[in-house]
Structures are given as C-alpha cells and as structure tokens.
Amino acid sequence: MSFSISFNWDDLIERAYVEKFGKPISKVTSDGYIPDQPSLWKLHGDVEDLAGEWVFPYEEGRVFKSLLDSLDRLVGQNCPQFALIVGYSEWEEVVRERLIKWLEDHIPKVLRVRPNWDVKDPNGIPETARRFCERLRIYFKLEMRT
C-alpha cells in the first residue's frame, strides 16, 4: 500500500488522480479512520470539506494518530524502501517531531525535493516540485522505451 500526504487544502491532487485513473481517490480528512486502500491524507484541511477542521499558515501543524498507526501497519507488512517529501519546508514542529521523525526512524531513505535544499546534502534535490515532476515524467518515459 502506498501513502500520499498533503498539507494543501486545494483539490489539485484529486483532480489529477481522476484525470489519470477515471475515479476519485480515497481521502482521509480527519483522525480516527484507517483506510484499507491507498488514500490521500489531507492533514491541514480540504476544500471539499469546508466544515472540517483546517490548519492555517503559521498555525501549529497536525498529524493524525490514525496516519501513524496506518504507517506502522504498512511497515509491519512490507516496509517501503524510500519516502519522498516534495515541496514541504518542514518548519512545523509537530509535523517534524511526529511524522518526519517517524519516517526517518522507519524508512531506509527519506528524500526531499525543495528549491532551498542544500546541494551538499545528498538526502535531497534542490528543485521546485513542478520542475522535479517534469523531469520525473521524462525519466519514466525514457525508461518505458528500454
């Protein structure tokens, strides 16, 4: 099972998923639910759930306990070899201490993609999310040809 975690309120991921797969992605927008299928975890709110709880810029972030429980279950079944963090600054202490630390403690390789990443640090790529995804798409197309 794979995980996608978003701190954005918008529905860009959801729309892209529908465009690619022709059906909506399962979403988790509040604590207490552990899905049985790959899902998008929206930790800071969701534009499609205006009545739900939102985290606004410069407020303390949040990490659902059910997300960590779900990650524990995943690692127990078949530990992923890497985690990819794209475009997230990691400035929220709660998120850093609960989620990022969990990833670093349980996943062999945690790779970051963000424009201000130090080029000397091999655990990340100094790139915008858009440019990284464009390059990744090109890479996959080339790989499919071989």
Contact (Cβ atoms closer than 8 angstroms) between residue 1 and residue 80: no
For the chain, the structural domain boundaries read 1-78, 81-146
Length of the chain: 146
pLDDT of residue 67: 95
The whole-number pLDDT of residue 78 equals 84
Greater pLDDT, 131 or 75: 131
Is 50:61 a contact under the CB 8 Å cutoff? no
The answer to whether the beta carbons of residues 33 and 52 sit under 8 Å apart is: no
Check pLDDT > 80 for residue 3.
Answer: no
Quote the DSSP letter at residue 87: S
- In this structure, what token pair is assigned to residue 58? 């410069």
Other beta carbons less than 10 A from residue 108's beta carbon: 10
Residues 51-62 pLDDT 10s: 999 999 889 999
The rounded radius of gyration (Å) of the Cα atoms in the chain is 16
- Cα–Cα distance for residue pair 64/112, rounded to 1 Å: 21
User: What's the pLDDT band for 93 if we cut at 50, 70, 90?
Assistant: very high
Whether residue 1 is predicted with pLDDT greater than 60 in this model: the reply is no
Any residues with CB less than 8 A from the CB of 92 and at least 6 apart, and which? 60, 61
- Span 102-137, pLDDT tens digits: 999 999 999 999 999 999 999 999 999 999 989 998
Residue keyed to tokens 């850093």: 96
Q: Could you tell me the pTM of the whole model?
A: 0.86
